[in-house]
Amino acid sequence: MLHPTRRLFGALGAALMLGVAAPALAQEVTKTPIAGFPHAAAWRLDDDRSRPVVVILHGADGGTEAGERFGPILARLGYVAVGLPYYSPDWGQYGPPKALPELAGSFVDIPVDQLARLRQTVAAMPGADVERFGLFAGSKGSEFALIAASRYDWIDAVVAYTPSDVVWEGWGLETVEAEGTRSSFAFDGQALPFMPYRGFVEGLLAGPAADLRAIHENGRADHPEKEAEARIPVEAYCGALMLIAGGQDAQWNSVRQAQNIVASRAAAGRATVALIYPEAGHDLIGDGGPRDAHRSGGTPEANAAARQDAWPKVVAFLAQTLNP
C-alpha cells in the first residue's frame, strides 16, 4: 500500500511523467550516461553537430521518468537533452522500496548548485554547447530551475511549467514529527529560507482527500513574515523565461505564483512570457489529448486544450532563445 505522504506529494510532479508525441525523424537518438551523476543521461541526435543543452528537471515524483520521456523528444528538436534525477522517494516501511538508492530519499535540502557541476561535466561531451544552456522543468522542478536561474548568469532560457515564486518547506520521513523545520532546497551547502505549509501532517492522514493547494496557500497566509526571505529573486535572472500555469491548478496556486514572478521581473525591467490558462489545472506538460489526471485540477479537456496551445509556443521559445 502506498504511504499517504507519497500519495500526497507525488501528484505535484506527475505532469512531468506524461509525454508528448515525438516528431517522426529517421535520425537515431543516442543516450549517454553522465559520469558522476547517478541515473543522469544525455540524449542527442547521432551526428557531429554542436547543439544547445537543455536540462530536464522533474517534479515531486522524482526518478528518471521525466528524462526518459522528454529526453528523446527534445533531442529530436535539436538539443542535447539532459535528464537530471535528483530525488527518489523513500518512505521506508510505509511505501514501496526506494527505486534509486543513490539519490536523496527525502525532498529536503536538494542541492541546486549540483547544476553547475553538471554543466562542467556535460561541457566535455562531444557536441554539447553549454554556452547555449536551457532548463525545461515542471512543478518542484520549476522551483529548482528558478532558484538556479536567479544565481547563474550562464542559464540562457527557462521553461517553467506550474512554477513557484518561493522556496517551499521540504518533506520526508524525518520531517513527519518535525513539521515546518526543513527546506526543499539548498545552495552552497546552506538550506534556503522557505515558506512553511499548514496542515502537512493532516494531509498525510487524509491521503487522496488532502487539499494540496490549501496546504500551500494556508501556510503562506500564516507566515507573511517569511515571504521576503523565501521569495526566489527571479529579477536577478536576465535570461529568457516562459511560465505556463493553470487557473484550476489543484496542487498549488501556480497562477498567483506566476503572476508574482512576472511582477517582480517587470519591476526590474525584465520581460517574461506567461501563458495562463484559466480553466486548466496542473497537468500542462507536453501535448496530446485528454488524459486522466484527477488530482491535477481542471478538466481533461481543458488541460488538453491548454497543452495543445502551449506546446508549439514552448518549442518556438526554445528555438528562438537557444538558437540565435
Per domain, the residue ranges of the chain are 4-322
- Give one word for 297, left, alpha or beta, with left for phi > 0 and alpha for psi -120 to 50: left
Instruction: Return contacts of 214-217, CB within 8 angstroms, 24+ apart.
Output: 216/168, 216/252, 216/253, 217/252, 217/253
CA distance 143 to 267: 20
Give domain 4-322's CATH superfamily. Answer: Alpha/Beta hydrolase fold, catalytic domain (3.40.50.1820)
Angle at 116 between CA 114 and CA 120, to 5 degrees: 115
pLDDT at 288: 81
Give the pLDDT of residue 249.
97
pLDDT attached to residue 197 = 96
Return per-residue pLDDT of the chain as tens, 324 residues: 333 333 343 333 333 333 333 343 458 999 999 999 999 999 999 998 999 999 999 999 999 999 999 999 999 999 999 999 999 988 887 778 899 999 999 999 999 999 999 999 999 999 999 999 999 999 999 999 999 999 999 999 999 999 999 999 999 888 877 888 999 999 999 999 999 999 987 887 777 788 999 999 999 999 999 999 999 999 999 999 999 999 999 999 999 999 999 999 999 999 999 999 999 999 999 988 888 877 899 999 999 999 999 999 999 999 999 986
Query: pTM for the whole thing?
Result: 0.91
CA distance linking residue 187 with residue 167, whole number of Å: 12
pLDDT at 302: 95
* Amino acid symbol at 164: S
pLDDT reported for residue 324 = 63
26-52 burial, b if ≥16 CB within 10 A, otherwise e? eeebeebebeebebbbbbbbeeeeebb
